[in-house]
Amino acid sequence: MSVEQHRIAAERISEAETARDDLRRALTAVGVNLPSLRLDPASLAAQVPVPLVELGRCNLETTRRLTAALHRRRPE
């Protein structure tokens, strides 16, 4: 991997980490905790990664909180 490809890969991963953290903060602000929220390791494995944010699995209570939060934020 060239230095430029390495830089681009690092930037993509950093952007994905920031997006994941922003989502975690936004969810926490409305009472939702997704414990499995992370970057998908397989999407980071390519020579030029295309990071995916994995929302993961959640229990029924978390599903209900997330649904309620989305309904509250829905534009009229």
Q: Which position has the higher pLDDT, 4 or 18? A: 18
**What band does 72 get if pLDDT is binned at 50, 70 and 90?**
confident
Q: Is the pLDDT of residue 33 over 80?
A: yes
- Residue 19's SS3 state is helix
**What's the whole-number mean pLDDT along residues 4-31?**
92
Task: Supply 74's token pair.
Answer: 């829905």
The answer to whether the beta carbons of residues 36 and 54 sit under 8 Å apart is: yes
| Model-wide pTM > 0.75 | yes
- C-alpha distances in Å from residue 2, one per residue of 6, 8, 9, 16, 47: 6, 10, 10, 21, 10
